[in-house]
Amino acid sequence: MVELVDAWLKGAVLEVQEYVRLQVHAIRGVFSRPFYFRDVVEQFEQIGVGSLTVVLLTGFFTGAVLALQTGITLDQFGARPFVGRLLSASMVKELGPVLTGLMLAGRIGSGIAAELGSMVVTDQINALRALGTDPIRKLVVPRVLAGFFMAPVLTIIANTMGILGGWIIAVFQLRVASSVYWTSVVDGLYLDDAWMGLIKPFCLGYFIVTIGCHVGLRTSGGTQGVGRATTNAVVAASVAVIAADFFVTRLLITLLY
Amino acid sequence: MSVETSGTATLAKPDAQEQPVIVVDNVSLAFDEKVVLKDVSFTLLPGHTKVILGASGSGKSTILKLILGLWKPDGGTITVNGQRIDTMNELQLMEMRADVGMVFQEGALFDSLTVGENVAYKLFEESKMPGDQIDARVQEVLGFVGLTEFTDRMPSALSGGQRRRVAIARAMAAKPGILLYDEATTGLDPITAISVDEEMVKLRDMESVSSIIVTHQLRDAFFVATHEAVRRKDGYDIAPADALKCDEAEFIMLKEGVISFEGNAAELRASNDPYLKNFLS
């Protein structure tokens, strides 16, 4: 029993050590040569444009269902016209970043882990090194940059779609006047809320991508190992999104409010 | 020279004129309790071939990964082109690898790149060679392995033998002086395997590439060791090598991480070691 705990603890410490090393190596790679610019552009396209559909749909339906649910509750207080205020605050501060993060964890985290994991088990990573290429600079740095910068952009798109979805429900289902809804949306937003909604996705995007890369590059055990790595990456990135959201929110409340 | 020991093989003494391109000296490696290599020593002379034989799990591929600096040994030293590589950092290793190519088991071609892009990879990404020269070199090496018409195909559209030949083309594109082959013919049908063997012989004899071949395919190992490429007016011929040429190919037999035999093809065939006899039968 003691041996099992000992082995588990050693394994956990090793994982943390390797994760930190990967991040240090990747951050150093951002600011030094060689820099694989074409791969960066390709990853921005894959992570950013490729995730657009899922983010658009998630944002839209989240806003719509939020308007539906809160409309019923607000009715009890005769506050139906305030649905826009509630919706914009919820989407921008919390739901937009977190749901976009979770969608990206599912789509990007799994994709990166599967791709890099396959490259590991088929010796392509070793082949890269044999050909004189640093796999971190070639594979990890472009993904980290793309995840870090595209997550906020996708979050803004999700927020916009959410508020639009809410508007459709507010106008056609709750019978709230369009002008009242939009006024309420603007009234519900403060500058600090916007900052919070913007800063969080940078952190979430970073964690999703670095976790995907770390799990992918540590893959072992053939195709079965790739499947395991993919699952682990999604689970770890999803938990990281929720946990990081809490800690970053706590920090930003202290700093901004 | 024949060394038949149950433990460490003596380090070969190269001709003073010919400095070895690779020196592996008393190298050991273990993963946790499992000893993979124990006091392994050998040298590779320029233009020569070293064939490493052994059963699965005997540590053959591990030696190649150590020579390429992908792994670090627990003990001993490895020298490539006169530079000790076991103490190098990754950046220094990248420079060392400029003169070393490796053909991986199953090829390890990049799935997302075409055959031409795979072959051009090192020149395109890690050198400043102009694009037209890269294209010319890609066509040259693909022509060398007989796959010019496959330039725009994806690796998934190739057969096993074609993938290995593309892997050889990729490894030789940057004109390395040393090539390491990891089970380059394993899993191939005999005809395809012979075509890959011929590429290895051609590279050694026509491009003066020093090579280490890891395999447990005896037929392929003996073919490379006992044949040579002879230049003709309209190309080349693969013909049986003379005794002097055969001596340039040395065999190493690994048994549980230890060298149990070192010598040429004739000495290997004549060995009375029961394990070797069993392996060769």
The CATH architecture annotation of domain B48-58+87-280 reads 3-Layer(aba) Sandwich (3.40)
In this structure, chain A runs to a length of 257
Question: Does residue A34 form part of some domain?
Answer: no
pLDDT in tens, B144-174: 788 889 999 999 999 888 898 899 899 888 8
pLDDT in tens, A123-143: 999 999 999 899 999 999 999
Residues of B in contact with A130 (CB under 8 A): 68, 70, 97, 100-102, 104, 171
Q: Write down the pLDDT at residue B59.
A: 86
Q: Write down the pLDDT at residue A57.
A: 96
| Of B198, B241, B248, B249, the residue nearest B51 (C-alpha) | B249
Give ∠ CA B10-B14-B15 in degrees, rounded to 5: 150
Q: Give chain A's domain count.
A: 1
Q: Write down the pLDDT at residue B186.
A: 82
Q: Write down the pLDDT at residue B17.
A: 53
* pLDDT exceeds 60 at position B8: no
CB count, 10 Å around CB of B188? 21
Answer whether B44's CB lies under 8 Å from B20's CB.
yes
Nearest to A134 among B90, B98, B106 (CB): B90
**Which domain covers residue A179, as residue numbers?**
43-256
Whether residues B70 and A124 touch (CB distance < 8 A) is answered with: no
What's the token pair of residue A213? 């890369």
* Residues B63-71, mean pLDDT to the nearest whole number: 93
Whether residues A36 and B125 touch (CB distance < 8 A) is answered with: yes
Question: Does residue A79 form part of some domain?
Answer: yes
CB count, 10 Å around CB of B15? 8
Q: Write down the pLDDT at residue B245.
A: 84
Q: Measured between alpha carbons, how far is B87 from B48 in angstroms, rounded to an integer?
A: 26
Q: Which amino acid is residue A255, in one-letter code?
A: L
pLDDT in tens, A202-219: 999 999 999 999 999 999
What's the token pair of residue A115? 């791709």
What's the token pair of residue B57? 């799990």
Answer whether B238's CB lies under 8 Å from B198's CB.
yes
Answer whether B178's CB lies under 8 Å from B208's CB.
no
pLDDT band, residue B193 (cuts 50/70/90): confident
* pLDDT exceeds 70 at position B15: no
Element (H, E) at B152: none
* pLDDT exceeds 60 at position B6: no
Q: Is B186 on the interface with A (CB under 8 A)?
A: no
Q: Measured between alpha carbons, how far is A125 from A226 in angstroms, rounded to an integer?
A: 14
For an interface test with B, give the residue of A24, A45, A123 to mutate (most B CBs within 10 A).
A123
Q: Is B125 on the interface with A (CB under 8 A)?
A: yes
Residues of A in contact with B170 (CB under 8 A): 131
Q: Is B104 on the interface with A (CB under 8 A)?
A: yes
Q: Write down the pLDDT at residue B264.
A: 87
Nearest to A127 among B90, B100, B104 (CB): B104
* Domain coordinates in residue numbering, chain B: 48-58+87-280
Residues of B in contact with A134 (CB under 8 A): 90, 94
* Residues B48-73, mean pLDDT to the nearest whole number: 91
pLDDT band, residue B195 (cuts 50/70/90): confident
Q: Write down the pLDDT at residue A144.
A: 96
What's the token pair of residue A109? 């985290």
Question: Does residue A236 form part of some domain?
Answer: yes
Q: Is B106 on the interface with A (CB under 8 A)?
A: yes
Residues of A in contact with B171 (CB under 8 A): 130
Answer whether B79's CB lies under 8 Å from B59's CB.
no
Q: Write down the pLDDT at residue B125.
A: 87
Give the A-side interface with B, CB within 8 Å: 34, 36, 118, 122-124, 126-127, 129-134, 138
* Residues B251-273, mean pLDDT to the nearest whole number: 87
* Residues B125-148, mean pLDDT to the nearest whole number: 88
Q: What's the complex ipTM?
A: 0.82
List b or e across A107-117, with b for residues whose CB sees 16 or more CB atoms inside 10 angstroms.
Answer: bbbbbbbbbbb
Report the residue of chain B nearest A136, measured CA to CA: B90
* pLDDT exceeds 70 at position B5: no
Residues of B in contact with A34 (CB under 8 A): 126
pTM of the model: 0.85
Average pLDDT, chain B: 86
* Residues B101-107, mean pLDDT to the nearest whole number: 89
**Smallest Cα distance from A154 to chain B, Å:** 26
3-state secondary structure B19-70: CCCEEEEEEEEEECCEEEEEEEEEEECCCCEEEEEECCCCCHHHHHHHHCCC
Is A123 or B195 the better-scoring residue by pLDDT?
Answer: A123
Question: Does residue A242 form part of some domain?
Answer: yes
Highest mean pLDDT (candidates A100-104, B200-204, B274-278) = A100-104
pLDDT < 50 regions, chain A: none
Question: Does residue A168 form part of some domain?
Answer: yes
